[in-house]
Amino acid sequence: MTEQQTILDIKDLTTHFITYRGVVKAVENVAYDIRANEVVGVVGETGSGKSVTVMSVLRLIRPPGKIISGRVVFRGEDLMSLPEAEIRKRIRGREISMIFQKPMSSLNPVFTIDRQLTDVIRLHFGLDREQARQRALENLAAVSLPDPEEVLAKYPHELSGGMQQRVMIAMALACGSSLLIADEPTTALDVSVQLQILKLIKSIQRRTGFSVLLISHDLGVIASICDRINVMYAGHVLESGSKAALVESPQHPYSQKLIGSVPDFAPREKLAQFKGEIPDLLFAPEGCRFHPRCDRAEAVCRREVPELIEVAPDHKVACHLVTALKNKTTALGT
Ligand code: SF4
């Protein structure tokens, strides 16, 4: 597989939650892709739909949630049309591994790391117990755990949060996955450990060539290791592009504010502030969902949802002002 091949392609994904109070439009027409051998980030506030999108990709949405429409093509197969048994057997936790904010929710508290890791390896590679154990030790060493023998003998609760997360990454390595989805993997960790885990994910990704989808509310985390970034807000993708495009020349008013509000990217005395709050998606605003908080909103913004349009190679933006500017530039150029 070459570097530019698309490994995961999400198109027009819409997921709603049908509650007794009404329909929560959590994810609407979301589209982004991940190529082989790259790290893609999704950044957005809590409630932006970034986690619901990946839960939908993995077909983990349960009632009252419902995937309304969309296509999710993973290595040429549409995951939306695969039987649940196939997803469970071949995709979830196999071809696509996941790590979450709380590794304890994925590790079984009653079994040692040895049992959990070697079971996975035996299942995937048909090795005997001793061979699987050797492979487990190699995987633990690959995630820079200092004493793999000692770690194997422990139960999950005997490890620190950072060590548990390293075990989860070792588990993904053991599965030979081609995509690792990391949903807020460092949020519960100390700052110094956060950086170590991010560096580890990046170095393993480079070494093994798998792809990573990193989800975080923290733009600093996303920008630290991602090649491309998607900005989500209130269930929509507002901007997608390379890290350089997003961080150095964001086009969407929300992305501009987001970047301007992070001390890593803006001088402290000029930090941008958001007015208002992310909307309750039970009462999602019509048109551009950012319009109640946007300083540049016009009448059209309250009426029509802006389309995600290409403004430069590999750089897309969903904003009426940006679309109008692009149309004007194109007209002048023709
Ligand atoms: Fe602001 Fe309108 Fe652009 Fe939305 S579409 S970000 S409201 S200018």
- Look up residue 111 and give its two tokens: 């079994």
Q: Average pLDDT for residues 276-298, to the nearest whole number?
A: 94
3-state class of 319 per DSSP? coil
166 lines ligand 1 (CB under 6 A): no
Higher pLDDT, 334 or 81: 81
Is the pLDDT confidence value at 2 over 70? no
Give the distance (Å) from ligand 1 centre to CA of residue 271: 21
φ, ψ (nearest 5 deg) of residue 62: -120, 155
Residue to probe by mutation, ligand 1, list 256, 296, 303, most atoms within 8 Å of CB: 296
Give the distance (Å) from ligand 1 centre to CA of residue 328: 17
302 lines ligand 1 (CB under 6 A): no
Give the distance (Å) from ligand 1 centre to CA of residue 236: 13
- Look up residue 208 and give its two tokens: 């093994």
Q: Average pLDDT for residues 155-168, to the nearest whole number?
A: 94
pLDDT interval class at 105 (50, 70, 90): confident
288 lines ligand 1 (CB under 6 A): yes
253 lines ligand 1 (CB under 6 A): yes
Q: Distance between alpha carbon 320 and the CA centroid of its chain, in Å?
A: 26
What is d(CA 50, CA 30) in angstroms, rounded to the nearest whole number?
A: 10
Least Cα distance to 318 among 228, 234, 239, 230 occurs for: 239
Give the distance (Å) from ligand 1 centre to CA of residue 272: 17
φ, ψ (nearest 5 deg) of residue 213: -110, 110
Give the distance (Å) from ligand 1 centre to CA of residue 240: 16
Is the pLDDT confidence value at 129 over 70? yes
CA atoms within 13 A on the CB side of 189: 25
Least Cα distance to 42 among 237, 294, 252 occurs for: 237
Q: Tell me how far CA of residue 319 lies from CA of 2, 245, 252, in angstroms.
A: 33, 16, 6
222 lines ligand 1 (CB under 6 A): no
Residue to probe by mutation, ligand 1, list 252, 301, 305, 309, most atoms within 8 Å of CB: 301
pLDDT digits (tens, 9 = 90+) for 234-253: 999 999 999 999 999 999 99
Strands 228-233 and 236-242: antiparallel
Higher pLDDT, 158 or 172: 158
Is the pLDDT confidence value at 1 over 50? no
What pLDDT score does 276 carry?
84
The conformation of residue 90, written as its DSSP 8-state character, comes to I
Q: At what angle do helices 161-175 and 129-142 cross, to 10 degrees?
A: 120
What is d(CA 325, CA 230) in angstroms, rounded to the nearest whole number?
A: 21
Question: With pLDDT > 90 as the criterion, what percentage of the chain qualifies?
Answer: 78
Q: Tell me how far CA of residue 242 lies from CA of 38, 81, 93, 105, in angstroms.
A: 11, 31, 28, 32
Give the distance (Å) from ligand 1 centre to CA of residue 49: 19
136 lines ligand 1 (CB under 6 A): no
What is d(CA 72, CA 33) in angstroms, rounded to the nearest whole number?
A: 9
Give the distance (Å) from ligand 1 centre to CA of residue 172: 40
- Look up residue 266 and give its two tokens: 């803006």
Q: Average pLDDT for residues 130-141, to the nearest whole number?
A: 94
pLDDT digits (tens, 9 = 90+) for 42-68: 999 999 999 999 999 999 999 999 999
Atom 5 in ligand 1: residue holding the nearest Cα: 319
Q: 67: which residues sit within 8 A by CB, 6+ positions away?
A: 13, 14, 15, 56, 59, 61, 80
Which residues face 236 on adjacent strands?
A: 233
What is d(CA 264, CA 223) in angstroms, rounded to the nearest whole number?
A: 10
What is d(CA 58, CA 75) in angstroms, rounded to the nearest whole number?
A: 14
What is d(CA 17, CA 153) in angstroms, rounded to the nearest whole number?
A: 42
**Ligand 1, closest atom to CA 252?**
6
What is d(CA 166, CA 11) in angstroms, rounded to the nearest whole number?
A: 32
What is d(CA 15, CA 65) in angstroms, rounded to the nearest whole number?
A: 7
pTM of the model: 0.93
Task: Determine contact, residues 226/39, Cβ cutoff 8 Å.
Answer: yes
Residue type, position 302, single letter: R
| Number of other CB atoms surrounding residue 192 within 10 Å | 8
